[in-house]
Structure 1
Amino acid sequence: MTPPIVKRYIIAFEKYKWVGLASFALIVAGSTVVAIQPEPPPTYVADSALTYSGPTVSFSTTGSEIQEQGKELDAASLLSDQLIESISTTMGIKPKVLASSVDLKLPKRNSRTGKLESNIIELKYRDTDPKRAQEVVKALMDGMIQYSSDVNTTRLRAIIEKVNERIPQAKGELQAAEQKLEIYDRRERPAILAAENGSLLNAVTNSQNQQRVIQQTITGIDAQIRSLQEKLGLNVNQAYVSSALSADPILRDLRTQLYQTESQIALLRKDLRPEHPTMIQLMRQKQATEELLQQRAAEVVGGDGTAAPLAGNITGIRAQSNLDPARQLLANQMVALQTQRETLQQQLAQQVREELQLRQEYSQIPNKQLERSRLEQEVALKKAVFDQMQAKLTDARTAEAETVSSFSIARAITVIADAKKPKSVVLTLAVGGFLGFVVGGGIIFLLGSLEGTFRTREDIRDSLKQREVALLGEIPLMPVDDLPPEGIPVVLSAESVYLEFYEKLRSNLRRFGGKNLKVVLITSTSSNEGKTTSAYNLGIAAARAGKRTLIIETDLRSPSRCLSLRVNPDPDANLEPLRYYGSLSECIRLVPDVENLYIIPSPGPVRQSAAVLESSEIRRLMEDVRERYDLVILDTHPLSLSNDALLIQPYSDGMVLVARPNYTQENMLGEAVDQLVEAELGLVGTIINGADITISLPPSVESVSIEEPEIQDEATEVSVGANSQ
């Protein structure tokens, strides 16, 4: 059996053989031109070598680093366009020719250690003139050495320039950081030192001790005040008012005058009546004295505008201002104690505020210490950067006197003749022929692969297996001789060798579809894949198996193929298709050569086929035939050309896809299968039509292998189109 890849290649060769032959001829012609070319003139190779070097004595780190960086130069930098143009101008050689003749080989680096495996740089130059080859190599070596020296000097000067640019900024940042630290120390350093040497905690302790002493003193004064209150029967405010009133000389005189007037009134009251002028005068004098007494008492208590008023009232002024010297002394003592108590309370409040302030200041000490530490670190960092820049600048200036090229001559120039064997014409032609055969065959295979069409049944089978779709049967290509126009090959004879394949298809359809599979919809992804042929012959196989079978051509966009079954379609059916489908007796035809087989020919081509398929007449027709027949086969329009198959699908119990080598597109079949499976539209399986299968003929005829011919043009397509419907 021929492998699938060989089949695909044979099919592609039949279609693209002229492209492959043209490629083969083109390559053979090119090799012939190369073979007949005359021998080139002798060439000479000037060979020399450079090595990585450095200064004899190095006193700076920067100089050593620059020398090491000089080893990183690549071939493109060493053989720069400027160097090539300069040498080509001097030697009279074209730059492109000079660049193509130079071979520069740099040492490789170890992949694990990253170090150079050697220090030798190989330099070769090919030329037909040995003297010129030596001069070119000499110029190249001098140019590369000078270029390395210039690169090292430029790098060093760039370092010095960059350091000089950064030093003022680093110095300014250092001074700013030192100034911040100095200002912070001037403001917060005393508090930090006080916390560190313990004086701040001592101040808190002393404040607490003073508070306790003041509180004890206030407690003693409160005891004295309570004792004096018990003795006088007055509180502090009353004692203050009484003491002030008793000490006033004007009140003392007025009180004396009032006592004298009252004494006279008491003496004269026994002899005189109240209406007596003397009694009236004394009463008026008493009243005036009392008013003066009351007025003076108000002035004393109110402060008379020059002193603060006293806390108290002036009711009972005579009693309040009549303290004897002993009580007045006690009252003054009580007032003095109250004043002392208030003074001590103010001192206590002041001590409490000072303690709170000291505690707050002490609680902020850790933050202040952290801030100062941060400022110190910032100063240290800025100073370290500044010192490193100073050291780098000094080191770079020292290296300026040491900088030399990273290359030196390792091997003197030697010129040798490059001897070449004369080319073999036979070998060149043989190699060209072989390459032409390989390239031509590869182009044919590539063009065949890029078409995106299944070439063999094995390709279709693998695609279905990947998508887990059942393969219902493989149908060989049937002969198309002696067919009427627009006819398709059908197995009307019960002795046909092709009937066996459709019997197998029918049994597999029943096995995969189940017992409830009664209405089968057969479609394809595109035209010419054999869906109508499969539908007709499947119906014939089912009818010969004793099943009452009906074929309905629901492809209303194409004319009927029922002439292949020797059934004449109704010529007027396309005028009123709904009326045609509404009468079963008119639209159903009996196939004369096959018992139990009936067909409803298509009235197509019909405009607005979708409206017909969605009509109530089609619905009633499908309901009726489902009850009358054992198997109903629906032949529909291809999926890629219209949605007619999806419109008629709800009336079916399962769908069957027909694929055909050399016709079915890979992407179209895969997309159709994926959509039907995802939409759960009842895809039962797939039929491979037109497969290259060996047919076992009767003993009188030898076995032959029917393989599908490749379509070359439109005429050939018409001749094989019958099996593609």
Structure 2
Amino acid sequence: MTPPIVKRYLIAFDKYKWIGLASFALVVAGSTVVAIQPEPPPSYVADGALTYTRPPVSFSTTGSEIQQQGQALSRQVLLSDPIIEAVATKVNVKPSTIGQNIALRLPDASRPGEAQSTIIELKYQDTDRQRAQLIVQELMQAMIRLSGDINTGRLNAIIEKINERLPQAKSELEAAEQKLELYDRRERPAILAAENGSLLGAVTNSQNQQRLIQLTVAGIDAQTRSLQEKLGLNASQAYVSSALSADPILANLRSQIYQAESQITLLRKDLRPEHPTMIQLQRQKESVEELLQQRAAEVVGGGGTAAPLPGNITGIRAQSNLDPARQQLAYQLVALETQRETLEQQLAQQIREEERLRQEYSQIPNKQLERSRLEQEVGLRKAVYDQMQVKLTDARTAEAETVSSLTVARVPNVVTDTANARSVPLTLGVGSFLGLLIGGGVVFLLGSLEGTFKTKEDIRNSLRQREVALLGEIPLMPVDDLDKEAVPVLNSPDSPYLEFYEKFRSNVRRLGGKNLKVLLITSTGSQEGKTVSAYNLGIASARAGKRTLIIETDLRSPSRAASLNISPDTGASLEPLRYYANLNECIRLVPDVENLYIIPSPGPVRQSAAVIESSEMRKLMEDVRERFDFVILDTNPLSLSNDPLLIQPYSDAIVLVARPNHTEENMLAEAIDQLVEFELGLLGTIINGADIIVTSPQTNSLEEQPPIVEEVSASASRN
């Protein structure tokens, strides 16, 4: 069996053979022109070599590094435009000519045996012997100078870069040292106090002072309670009583009040309260009491806030009559209260001091870490600064060692370039071979760019990728030379093509099931054989004993029923709705095939979509579904109109027809995707026009289909 790629190539060659032959002729003509060209004039090749070198003694690391870098020169550097232009100016040759004829070979450490090679080979080809030698010599000298300039430039760049960064590194070091010094001035005493234990000692001392003060306060509280029990006064009352009792003015006023009260008491027996003497004595007493109250306020002072006075004159008189002994006790009570308040203030101060010391002690680890960080920063800055100083010193030492990394290893030597004579037969043979390859490639490329399936294997693979059932592969049937407009049909029951359509029919029944009664057959484009498939499927179904009806629903094309010896109604195109309304008149019995009926198309008609969607068509489809065992709808291609989608609701399943060298890949894929996506009942696909060996019943032998089947009439294969 012929491989699919060979089939695709043969099909493409049949279409584009003249383009392939033209490509072959052009290549052969070009090789002929090359073969008859005259021999080029003799040329000379100047060969020289450079080698990497280094100073015999190296005292600086920077110098060694620069010399090592100088041994990694690339081709772009050695043959840069300034080098070639400088040499071209000296020898009076175009720079482009030197660039085209120069050959440079650098050491390749990746090749075996060349890992230690340091030779740079330089070759130049020219028609003048002396000029070739001079150009190579000048190029070698220019490369040596270039290497020296590169090494010097690298060293100067290093020194310049260090000088640029050195002031910044110095300022950063000074800033880091200044930060550390300021931090030590501020935090170093606390850190030292924590390290030598004095800070913890201060906390302990503060705690001892607090305990001592608390003991003293406890003793004072005991003495205060004893004195309060003896006097019957608290500290504030004792202070007021002692102050009032010690004032002589208050004592005098108090005696005046006693005298006035004594007189009032003596005269109350003889005089009434309204008596002028009694009124005078009462007013005198009230004035003295008012003076007593004012004086008491002056003696106590403070507006009565610290030691409040009694609210009435009786209380003032009661608190201002302490004797000397009780007055002494009151003084002691006031003194103890004052001492207690002083100690409480000292205790609060010691507590605050302890909290401050503890907080300061808790911050010591952070302060130590911060100081350690500042020390590390100073050390890092100092190390960088010292390293830059060392590098600068080393670079200045390398100034005396930096030289070119290249030296002459072999002076230029000129030899004659003896090119092999051109072989005309060999050139023509190679050109012919390339012509065959290019011509064949052009044919294959043009065939691939068509976007159509070339073989049945291509269609089969596409269907397998989209998981679409393959219902059958059917070969093309030959057409009668006398009537090329006719559709080839299976008129004879002994036709070798009948078994293919019988396989197609059985696959439809197997996949469609018992409920499949109306089958719609369409294709993506024209000339793919949908009408041939519909007619012959109907014949195969009728020969299998099924009452079969073929309905031509392609109303945009004329009927093909003449191939079945049926004469279409010529007046049906004028009134297609009346044509479909009378079922008994539009259905025709096929004379040559038993159980086969057909409704010829009245087309071409205008507004075919309206006819398909009419009530007459709907009633027709309902009637034929009841009267026939199997109904086949032959409709027009999907790419021409939407008529197949309009007639689809009347069908139970859809079959797509594909044909090699006619069906476009993208159109078939798009049609399958749409039918599957919208669930329009795609049952499967058949391949029409497949290159299949057909068995001849007369000779009982296998015969491969002749190439003439591919030349079937366009009108027959179109449907």
Please tell me whether residue 723 in structure 1 is matched to residue 717 in structure 2: yes
Q: Secondary structure at the match of 1:696?
A: strand
| CA distance in structure 2 between the partners assigned to 1:710 and 1:478 by the alignment | 7
Unaligned regions of 5+ residues in structure 1, if any?
none
Q: Are the counterparts in 2 of residues 693 and 707 from structure 1 also a CA contact under 8 Å?
A: no
* Residue 55 (str. 1) matches residue 55 (str. 2): yes
Q: 1:671 to 1:67 in 2, by over 3 A?
A: farther
Q: 1:196 is matched with which residue? A: 195
Percent of aligned pairs with the same amino acid:
73
| Range moving further from structure 2, 558-567 or 691-700 | 691-700
Report deviation, 1:402: 1.5
Contact 2:137 2:411 in 1 (8 A): no
The aligned residue for residue 529 of structure 1 is 528
Pairwise mapping of residues 47-446 of structure 1 onto structure 2 (< 5 A)? Answer: 47-110=47-110, 116-266=115-265, 281-303=280-302, 310-315=307-312, 316-446=315-445
Contact 2:527 2:714 in 1 (8 A): no
Cα deviation for residue 247 of structure 1 reads 1.0
Distance in 2, Cα, partners of 1:394 & 1:453 = 78
Q: Equivalent residue of 1:123, what SS?
A: strand
Provide the C-alpha distance between the structure 2 equivalents of 1:653 and 1:272, rounded to a whole number of angstroms. Answer: 145
Against the structure 1 CA distance between its residues 219 and 702, is the aligned structure 2 distance closer, same or farther, given a 3 Å change threshold?
Answer: closer
Q: Quote the residue 1:650 is aligned against.
A: 649
> Contact (CA 8 Å) 1:491, 1:537: kept in 2 or not?
yes
Change (3 A) 1:120 1:535: same
Give the superposition deviation at 1:333. Answer: 0.9
CA distance in 2, matches of 1:116, 1:648: 80
**CA 1:283–1:102: 2 relative to 1, 3 Å:** closer
Say which is worse superposed, 690-699 or 8-17, in terms of deviation: 690-699
Shift of 1:125: 1.6
Q: What is the CA-CA distance between 1:16 and the residue it aligns to?
A: 1.4
SS at match of 1:691: coil
**Aligned residue for 1:501?**
500
Instruction: Report the 3-state secondary structure (helix = DSSP H, G, I; strand = E; otherwise coil) of the residue aligned with 1:71.
Output: coil
Displacement, 1:505?
1.4
The SS at the match of 2:228 is: helix
Deviates more, 1:603-612 or 1:427-436: 603-612
Measured after TM superposition, the shift of residue 531 of structure 1 is 0.7
Deviations 1:649-687 (A, max 9, x none): 333222211111110112222333344334443322221
SS of corresponding position for 1:552: strand
Aligned to 1:636: 635
Letter paired with 1:239: A
**3-state DSSP of counterpart to 1:604:** coil
**C-alpha separation between the residues in 1 aligned to 2:60 and 2:134?**
37
User: For the Cα contact (< 8 Å) 1:103–1:124, is it kept in 2?
Assistant: yes
Displacement of 1:170? 2.1
Counterpart amino acid of residue 373 in structure 1 = S
**CA displacement, residues 381-413 of structure 1 (integer Å, 9 cap, x when unaligned):** 222222222222222222222111111122232
Partners of 2:237 and 2:307 within 8 A in 1: no
Question: Amino acid of the residue matched to residue 310 of structure 1?
Answer: A
Q: Give 1:251 deviation, angstroms.
A: 0.4
How far residue 105 of structure 1 moved from its aligned partner, in angstroms, is: 0.8
Give the aligned residue type for 2:332.
Q
Structure 1, 32-41 or 210-219: larger mean CA deviation: 32-41
Q: CA 1:385 to 1:637, structure 2 compared with 1: closer, same or farther past 3 Å?
A: farther
1:46 match: secondary structure: strand
Equivalent AA in structure 1 for residue 718 of structure 2: S
Normalised TM-score (structure 2): 0.93
What is the CA–CA distance in structure 1 between the aligned matches of 2:392 and 2:708, rounded to whole Å? 86
Given that residues 477 and 709 in structure 2 are in contact (C-alpha distance below 8 angstroms), is that contact kept between their aligned partners in structure 1? Answer: no
Asked if the contact 1:487/1:561 (under 8 Å) is kept, the reply is: yes
Comparing 685-694 with 275-284, greater Cα deviation is found at 275-284
CA–CA distance in 1 between the matches of 2:601 and 2:293? 138
2:591 aligned residue: 592
8 Å contact kept, 1:87–1:136: yes
Shift of 1:344: 0.9
**In the TM superposition, what is the alpha-carbon distance from 1:615 to its structure 2 partner?**
4.0
1:602 aligns with 2:605: no
Q: 1:429 to 1:710 in 2, by over 3 A?
A: farther
2: CA distance, partners of 1:710 / 1:51: 76
CA deviation profile, 1:193-252 (whole Å, cap 9, x unmatched)? 222222222222211111111111111111111111111111111111111111111001
Partner of 1:17: 17
Query: CA shift at 1:572, angstroms?
Result: 4.0
Amino acid of the structure 2 residue aligned with 1:121: I
Q: Which 10-residue stretch deviates more, 683-692 or 380-389?
A: 380-389
Instruction: Tell me the amino acid that sits aligned with residue 722 of structure 1.
Output: A
What is the RMSD computed on CA atoms of the aligned residues? 2.7
Q: Which residue of 2 aligns with 1:464?
A: 463
Counterpart check, 1:705 vs 2:704? yes
- How much does 1:255 deviate? 1.6
Q: Aligned partners of 1:689 and 1:447: how far apart in 2?
A: 24
Kept after mapping to 2: 8 A contact 1:301/1:314 = no
Q: 1 CA distance for matches of 2:274 and 2:630? A: 155
Query: Aligned runs of 1:610-625 on 2, under 5 Å?
Result: 610-625=609-624
Structure 1 contact 477–708 (Cα < 8 Å) conserved: no
Q: Indicate if the aligned counterparts of 1:691 and 1:708 stay in contact, CA closer than 8 A.
A: no
Stretch of structure 1 that moved more, 381-390 or 97-106: 381-390
Q: Distance in 1 between matches of 2:700 and 2:318?
A: 164
Structure 1 CA distance for aligned equivalents of residues 605 and 345 of structure 2: 116
- Equivalent residue of 1:172, what SS? helix
Are the aligned partners of 1:503 and 1:541 in contact in 2 as well (CA < 8 Å)? yes
Length, aligned pairs only: 717
User: Where in structure 2 are the equivalents of 1:550-561 lying within 5 Å?
Assistant: 550-561=549-560
Taking the aligned partners of 2:676 and 2:109, their CA distance within structure 1 comes to 58
Q: Deviations over 1:489-517 (max 9, x none)?
A: 22223333322221221122222322322
Whether the aligned pair in 2 keeps the contact of 1:88 and 1:98 (CA below 8 Å) is yes
* Structure 1 contact 691–707 (Cα < 8 Å) conserved: no
**How much does 1:76 deviate?**
1.8
Counterpart-to-counterpart distance in 2, 1:461 and 1:283 = 142
Q: What displacement does 1:540 show? A: 1.1
**CA displacement, residues 622-673 of structure 1 (integer Å, 9 cap, x when unaligned):** 3332222111112222223333323333332222111111101122223333
Q: Which runs of 5+ in 2 are unaligned?
A: none
How far off its partner does 1:4 sit? 2.4
Q: Give 2:348's aligned amino acid.
A: A
Matches of 1:209 and 1:618, distance apart in 2: 118
Distance of aligned partners of 1:182 and 1:116 in 2 relative to their CA distance in 1, 3 Å threshold:
farther
Q: Distance in 2 between matches of 1:275 and 1:637?
A: 146
Say whether the 8 Å CA contact 2:494–2:697 is kept in structure 1: no
**2: CA distance between counterparts of 1:174 and 1:573?**
108
**1:301–1:309 CA contact under 8 A, matched in 2:** no
Mean Cα displacement is larger for which, 187-196 or 88-97? 88-97
Contact 1:297–1:314 (8 Å) recurs in 2: no
Aligned in 2, Cα 1:704/1:265: closer, same or farther, shift over 3 Å?
closer
Deviates more, 1:156-165 or 1:212-221: 156-165
Q: Closer, same or farther in 2 for the Cα pair 1:276/1:443, shift >3 Å?
A: closer
Q: Distance in 2 between matches of 1:193 and 1:92?
A: 83
SS of the residue 1:619 aligns to:
helix
Mean CA deviation greater in 389-398 or 337-346:
389-398
CA change 1:260–1:409 in 2 (3 A) is same
Letter in 2 for 1:25: A
Q: Indicate how the Cα distance of structure 1 residues 586 and 285 shifts in structure 2: closer, same or farther if over 3 A, else same.
A: same
Letter of the structure 1 residue corresponding to residue 299 of structure 2? V
Q: 1:169 to 1:239 in 2, by over 3 A?
A: same
What TM-score results when the alignment is normalised by the length of structure 1?
A: 0.92
CA distance in structure 1 between the aligned counterparts of 2:559 and 2:162, rounded to whole angstroms: 94
Contact 2:4 2:455 in 1 (8 A): yes
Counterpart CA distance in 2 for 1:278 and 1:471 is 150
- Residue 687 of structure 2: aligned partner: 688
Q: SS where residue 108 of structure 2 aligns?
A: coil
Helix, strand or coil at the partner of 2:47: strand
